[in-house]
Amino acid sequence: MRAVVRAEVEEHPDFTIRNINRELRTRLPQSPAISQTTISGILDGLLVTTKKLEDAPAERNSDRTKQQRQAYATWLMHEVQETEFIFIDEAGINIWTKRTRGRAVRGRRAVRVVQGRRGPNLTMTFAVSNVGGLIYHELTEGGMTGQHFNEFIGTVCRLYHPLNACFVMDNAPAHRQAVNLPLPQNFSVRYLPPYSPFLNICENAFALWKGNIRQFSSTSRPTFERGPSTKNGNFRTAG
């Protein structure tokens, strides 16, 4: 019975205890009826808890996607000795971002008083090399556009001069023109397989960056002032 309950949870994570009980009677018609309390105890014994559901696209782990990931991994291992990989990605954030968890006395809600307004939406773009680490970043207002992305790529090419490098990025709409850009001969472009953001090391950098911003924002509110276009981006932080 425990194995059947486990299988039901794996197949249908959105089932309620009543749904599990109904399915259990269908799969085990010869077994005596059990109560929902018993099923709840079985779930506790299996260490099954209620969590936020996440929708996963059906193509995320399809055979075609797996083959593309394998082809990318083969290319990566073949080129790693002669090519420097520069991973490119962007992430959006609002300067009024804040921590989502807090502390309060048991029985009371954790309430934070905030102003009824939000700051501008910002986009941080990273260029992270497997050799030189973070080589360039740029903070701009609004979302990423094809023009902004092309300018970002051009700036990296002017500031960084590796012997042989390849820009690695996902196939987002703003990135699709990168393969047709007039890049220097020592630069090339490679797109990641679909549904594979974990193959871009920029994701780890963004997680650390956003975490630091939320921690800093819990004690003081950062503001961003427009400044000249420099290696640190088009905005600077004011205390």
Within 95-180, residue ranges assigned H as helices are 146-159
40 pLDDT higher than 60 = yes
- Mean pLDDT value of segment 224-237: 43
Q: What is the number of other CB atoms lying within 10 angstroms of the CB of residue 123?
A: 19
Contact between 104 and 110 (Cβ < 8 Å): yes
Shortest CA distance to 89 belongs to which of 47, 35, 144, 46? Answer: 144
> Helix count (H) and strand count (E) of the chain?
6, 7
On whether the CB atoms of residues 82 and 164 are closer than 8 A, the answer is yes
pLDDT tens digits along 171-192: 999 998 888 889 999 999 999 9
What's the CA gap between 185 and 151, in Å, rounded? 18
> pLDDT tens across 120-131, in order?
788 999 999 999
CA atoms of 225 and 236, how far apart (whole Å): 5
Find the mean pLDDT for residues 76-99: 86
pLDDT at 228: 40
Residue 96 pLDDT level (bands cut at 50, 70, 90):
low
pLDDT confidence of residue 64? 92
All CATH 3.30.420.10 domain ranges of the chain, comma separated, are: 63-238
Using CA atoms, how far apart are residues 129 and 125, in angstroms rounded to an integer?
Answer: 13
- 99 vs 187, which has greater pLDDT? 187
Mean pLDDT across 50-65: 85
| CA pair distance 52, 179, nearest whole angstrom | 38
The mean pLDDT value of the chain amounts to: 84
Domain 63-238 fold is Nucleotidyltransferase; domain 5 (3.30.420)
